């Protein structure tokens, strides 16, 4: 197998399915699967999801870390490394081998995914992966993921004057931003998923370059999607494009930030955000209904999604026209119930002022028997 990088990234959930699980290289909130419980995370976890290409359209995502899956590259280094005068198109191939089998493979040329000239043969555990007729002045990278739980990944790159060490340990993001060495922890304090994303680059050496990807597509420099660094400690910020149809922002997007430092043998790092199933946009929402017995039965949920839970112990207050306010606490699923009241106790209002783990919600009004609160 090709000697591989020492690769330990921070973990976020298998991109937060069923709850919000944020990751970090340092101390940031780590939420449990009930959305509301937050505790500090002070240790590095085993693996950060790495995505290459559009995950909804043939891209690959791995969340179980790096593994030596690729060997026997042909050629071992880029043809131009041995003969700078080479101009004819080039064919590249490499062997994938793993007992779990091949889940997916993505070929990129100068950072853009391609299916032109791509082929694979063999299986089910050993494949020859190939790409034909590539301009020798371009950088070619193969990214593969195996079928282990969560998926482990590997990559290999051929490019102008690329040697075997850089091919096995580096990472190519675009034609202008690539690394010749392995991964290094350089991204800290990531934001949550939202219209704006940010993370802080911090390293002993200055940032060489950065690239933001949306659904596997590198964003243009004009939109703040890529550029060069100014210091060895700076916060990088990106905002989703504002010229898209309104439903674009409700769709689940995968956002990835890639950075490369300015060491002589440059290192790289990435951080990935995926829209969480629960709790987006941030905040809480009350809902409820008045039964024919005068009971107010309701729920407190992240963004009002009844399939998600803000958990137990949150104090909900109902204020009635007659009889004064009452307070109850939510159950593990965020549900609450106020006992029956006579018709003249309505209209009533239900409120949640917020607490140590959740922000307050907008107050809802309940007009009377059989009515929804809103």
CATH topology of domain 284-373: Immunoglobulin-like (2.60.40)
Ranges 49-53, 124-128, 142-146, 222-226: which has the least confidence? 49-53
Average pLDDT of span 166-178: 83
Q: Can you give the residue ranges of every domain in the chain? A: 28-274, 284-373
Q: Which residue has the higher pLDDT, 135 or 23?
A: 135
Query: Are 259 and 272 a contacting pair, CB within 8 Å?
Result: no
pTM over 0.85: no
87: pLDDT strictly greater than 50 = yes
Query: Are 164 and 141 a contacting pair, CB within 8 Å?
Result: no
Which tokens sit at 35? 């959305």
Please report the pLDDT score of residue 225 as a whole number: 94
Ranges 29-38, 41-50, 63-72, 82-91: which has the least confidence? 29-38
Average pLDDT of span 222-228: 93
Average pLDDT, the chain: 81
For residue 93, what are the CA distances in angstroms to 62, 74, 174, 343? 22, 5, 21, 77
132: pLDDT strictly greater than 60 = yes
Please report the pLDDT score of residue 31 as a whole number: 25
Ranges 49-63, 174-188, 207-221: which has the least confidence? 49-63
pLDDT cut 70: percent of the chain above it: 85
Order of strands, edge to edge, in the sheet holding 102-109? 112-114, 102-109, 140-146, 153-158
Beta-carbon contacts of 143 under 8 Å, excluding residues fewer than 6 positions away, are: 52, 53, 60, 105, 106, 108, 153, 154, 155
- C-alpha span between 162 and 180 (Å, rounded): 8
Please report the pLDDT score of residue 306 as a whole number: 63
Element (H, E) at 166: helix 164-169
* pLDDT band with cut points at 50, 70 and 90 for residue 48: low
Q: Which residue has the higher pLDDT, 248 or 144?
A: 144
Please report the pLDDT score of residue 350 as a whole number: 97
Please report the pLDDT score of residue 22 as a whole number: 27
pLDDT cut 90: percent of the chain above it: 48
Counting Cβ atoms within 10 Å, is residue 112 exposed (0-12), middle (13-18) or buried (19+)? middle
* pLDDT band with cut points at 50, 70 and 90 for residue 369: very high
């Amino acid at each position: 197998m090709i000697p591989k990088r020492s690769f330990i990234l921070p973990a976020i959930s298998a991109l937060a399915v069923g709850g919000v699980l944020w990751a970090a290289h340092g101390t940031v909130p780590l939420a449990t699967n009930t959305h509301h419980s937050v505790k500090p995370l002070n240790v590095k976890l085993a693996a950060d999801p790495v995505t290459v290409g559009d995950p909804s359209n043939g891209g690959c995502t791995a969340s179980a870390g790096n593994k030596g899956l690729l060997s026997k590259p042909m050629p071992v280094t880029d043809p131009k490394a041995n003969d700078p005068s080479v101009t004819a198109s080039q064919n590249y191939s490499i062997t994938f081998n793993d007992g779990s089998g091949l889940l997916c493979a993505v070929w990129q040329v100068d950072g853009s995914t391609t299916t032109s000239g791509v082929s694979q043969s063999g299986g089910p555990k050993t494949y020859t992966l190939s790409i034909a007729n590539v301009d020798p002045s371009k950088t070619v990278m193969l990214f593969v993921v195996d079928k282990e739980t969560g998926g482990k990944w590997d990559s290999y790159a051929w490019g102008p004057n690329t040697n075997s060490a850089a091919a096995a340990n580096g990472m190519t993001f675009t034609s202008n931003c690539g690394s010749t060495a392995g991964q290094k922890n350089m991204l800290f304090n990531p934001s949550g998923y939202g219209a704006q994303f940010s993370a802080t680059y911090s390293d002993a050496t200055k940032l060489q370059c950065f690239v933001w990807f949306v659904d596997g597509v590198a964003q243009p420099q004009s939109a703040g999607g890529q550029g060069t660094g100014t210091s060895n400690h700076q916060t990088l910020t990106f905002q989703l494009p504002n010229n898209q149809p309104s439903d674009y922002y409700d769709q689940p997007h995968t956002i990835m930030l890639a950075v490369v430092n300015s060491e002589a043998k440059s290192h790289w790092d990435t951080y990935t955000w995926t829209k969480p199933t629960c709790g987006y946009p941030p905040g809480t929402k009350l809902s409820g209904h008045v039964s024919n017995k005068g009971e107010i039965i309701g729920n407190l949920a992240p963004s009002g999604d009844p399939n998600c839970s803000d958990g137990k112990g949150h104090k909900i207050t109902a204020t009635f026209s007659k009889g004064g306010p009452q307070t109850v606490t939510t159950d593990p699923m965020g549900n609450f119930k106020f006992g029956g009241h006579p018709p003249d106790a309505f209209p009533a209002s239900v409120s949640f002022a917020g607490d140590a783990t959740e922000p307050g919600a907008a107050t809802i009004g309940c007009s009377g028997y059989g009515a929804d609160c809103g």
